[in-house]
Structures are given as structure tokens and as C-alpha cells.
Amino acid sequence: MTQKDNSKKSIIKILLWPFKSYLRILGVVIVIGAYQYQSIQIDILAREIRSLELRRNQLVSENTTLHVQMDQLTHINRIEKLARDKFGLIAPGRKMEKLVMKPFSHDKDIPFKKQEKNIQLAGVK
């Protein structure tokens, strides 16, 4: 290699040195900016999670309150009082009779012998 080639290479290195430094600084700035952006996004999501948890707790509390109110409104003593006082469905001095029905279940099948006995009692063979 000649001295001319070496001087060309050194001139190119001198010209490219600021550009390389600029690229390095730009890379560092981009990395720091990306880190800051992620930190901000994490803070925003954490605030949203906190507000959603507060809203969920509020809804659970309201739901519990509504269940208590529903139990109070559907209590048999309240229904009897309304039937007696407001609607006159129960005569004064008489007791209200309750019919309690159990929910239907396929698990409780009537045994065959019991079915046969019920049929005989009904007069059907």
C-alpha cells in the first residue's frame, strides 16, 4: 500500500468519526427512551389495575347489599304481612299456610316397587 492509499483511509476515518459518534449517541438515546416509555406504560397500566380493583370491590359490596335486600323482601313474614294488611288475602286471626316445593332432581327416581304400590292404590293394574 502506498502512502496515498493510507492518507485516503485516514481522511475517511476522520470524516466518519463524528458520524460514528453520532450513531452511538443516538443508539444510547433510543435505548434510554425505550426504557422510559416502558416505565410510563407500566405506571399507566398499574393505575388502571388499581382503579379496576376498586371498582370490582365496589360492585361486590353493592351485590352483597342487593342480596341482603332481596332476602329481606322475599322473607315469608314480610309476604304474610303484605298479604294480610295490604291485600286482605288472609283473614284476621287465621294463620297463613306455606307450601314448600323442593326443586326437581333426576337423581331421586322412584323405586319400581313403590311405583307398583302407588298404581295398586289408585286402582289401576
Show the domain range for 65: 3-96
Residue 124, pLDDT score: 47
Q: Which residue carries 288475602 as its cell? A: 89
Residue 94, pLDDT score: 80
Structure confidence by residue, pLDDT tens digits, 23-80: 889 999 999 999 999 999 999 999 999 999 999 999 999 999 999 999 888 888 888 8
Whether 114 maps to a domain, the answer reads: no
Whether 21 maps to a domain, the answer reads: yes
**CB-based contact 100:106 (threshold 8 Å):** no
Structure confidence by residue, pLDDT tens digits, 74-99: 888 888 888 888 888 877 778 777 77
- For residues 109 and 5, give the distance between their C-alpha atoms in angstroms, rounded to a whole number: 103
Of residues 77, 76, 95, 79, the one with CA closest to residue 87: 79
0.85 exceeded by pTM: no
Whether 71 maps to a domain, the answer reads: yes
Query: For the chain, how long is the longest CA-to-CA vector?
Result: 128
**Sequence-separated (6 or more) residues with CB below 8 Å from residue 96:** 80, 83, 84, 90
DSSP symbol at 87:
S
122/14: higher pLDDT? 14
How many distinct structural domains can be found in the chain?
Answer: 1
